[in-house]
Amino acid sequence: MFGWFKKKKPKTGLDVFIEAIYGENPPKLSASFEQSAQIAYSVLLNEKAELKVVRAECAELYSSGIPYNTYDLALSTALKFYMNFRDEYDLDFTDQLKARVAMLEWRQEKKCNPVIAKTFEDKLYTIYKEPFKKSDNQPKKQTPKEIFNDILSGKNTTYFNIGGRVFPHAPKTRDELNEVIGFVVKDLYDLLPTYEHLYQFVMCEIEGASMSDNEAAQKLVAMSGFQPSEYKNSLRGSELMDEEDSATYFLNAKVAPTLYEHFSFDDAVIIRCLIMMRFINEYKEEIDEAREMFDEY
């Protein structure tokens, strides 16, 4: 009474929604509208939608009351197009795959909210992971050479093409997955001509995993035995891994996209961690020697 004890203001649907994403103490809106719209347009939608339309959708979300940061707003804007306008703007499988890879990088660098990132990943995975449908018309019979060329060019998606190696299908059992991982691990090592390359590659992967909130990534970091003082800032100072023939480039450009195409985001991250765990175990002696040569701490 006397106004000393006021009833707690009931939560609105928006309050509940924000709390589910950002927690009980959500941040303030920090997004740069212009930057978010540009990222959504150029990076996530591959410049296929009209910029003015992207800006309009982005503005609607910007004024919604949700405390987005720049990357959260860009992802939420782009998701509207993939869910509602993908046919209108011809947003194909390649477009969404590039968008998911960009989202993965931001998530690893902690630039975007993990709930928004996972929603983006799950929605796109569901939308574009359509079940195989039999064609009413009998396909034209191809020669072995034509089949081989289609596999290499990506036209034939029946096969599982990872890192330039072709398998009959994506791994469905533990043995099949182990076989694929074994080949990837060997190919990675073949791309490391010196101990310095080897050390930089492993440090970059461990630092990247340390930035992720994925349980498998954290287990990889713990299992590796490396200290933060060893891998900290490796991603910034890894000139050898920036080259297009590097092991890091191979893993990011030749292996990861195939994993995202055939598996969910979380499963793809787990497989990447399994690849690195196998790599570290198989080449432990060489890694230890490189560690003695280049560990400055």
pLDDT tens per residue across span 208-239? 888 888 888 889 999 888 888 888 877 776 67
Look at residue 146 and tell me if it is in a domain: no
First to last CA, the chain: 65
When the pLDDT of each residue in the chain is averaged and rounded to a whole number, the result is 83
Residues 290 and 165 in one domain: yes
Count of domains forming the chain:
2
Convert the pLDDT of each residue in 145-177 to its tens digit. 565 555 455 555 556 778 878 777 788 888 888
pTM (two decimals)? 0.55
- In the chain, the percentage of residues whose pLDDT exceeds 70 is 83
Give the confidence band of 4 by pLDDT, cuts at 50, 70, 90. Answer: very low
Residues 118 and 184 in one domain: no
Segment 81-99 mean pLDDT: 90
Ranges of H-type helices in 173-264: 174-190, 195-210, 215-224, 228-231, 247-249, 256-262
Examine the fold and report which residue of 108, 128, 148 is the final residue of a domain before the chain moves on.
Answer: 128
Give the confidence band of 134 by pLDDT, cuts at 50, 70, 90. Answer: very low
Q: What is the residue range of 68's domain?
A: 13-128
Residues 86 and 174 in one domain: no
